[in-house]
Amino acid sequence: MKEKDNFEMVINLRRIATGKRTNRLGRALKEIRSKIIRHFGADRVVIDPLVVKSLSSNGYDKIRSRIRVVVSKLDEKTYLVKLAIKSE
């Protein structure tokens, strides 16, 4: 399998959005981090503050149900998660 240096993916957060209201943002960030660790075998995941701001744009308890992110490789087992901006 080829090396994944720059990869775009959509992460579904619907299960978190239908759960308990308290700390939905924290659970969403943990879900994003766990997906990146599972798919890329990362030891360290750095999440861009713009992703957090986009998730909590409606408030901390009303997160988005899906988010499109770009995952970039920084070091050997370190990945950066940035918000994917659609260019039309």
Q: Domains in the chain, start-ordered, CATH in brackets?
A: 6-83 (3.10.440.10)
- The pLDDT tens digits for 15-40 are 987 878 888 999 999 999 999 999 99
Which pLDDT score, from 0 to 100, does residue 44 have? 95
How many residues appear in the chain? 88
Beta bridge mates, 66: 12
Q: How many C-beta neighbours within 10 Å does residue 43 have?
A: 11
User: How do residues 67-83 score in pLDDT, each as one tens digit?
Assistant: 999 999 999 899 999 99
Integer Cα distance of 54 and 59 in angstroms: 10
Please name the amino acid found at residue 12: N
Bridge partners of 44? 78
The reported pTM is 0.87
Residue 47's pLDDT is: 96
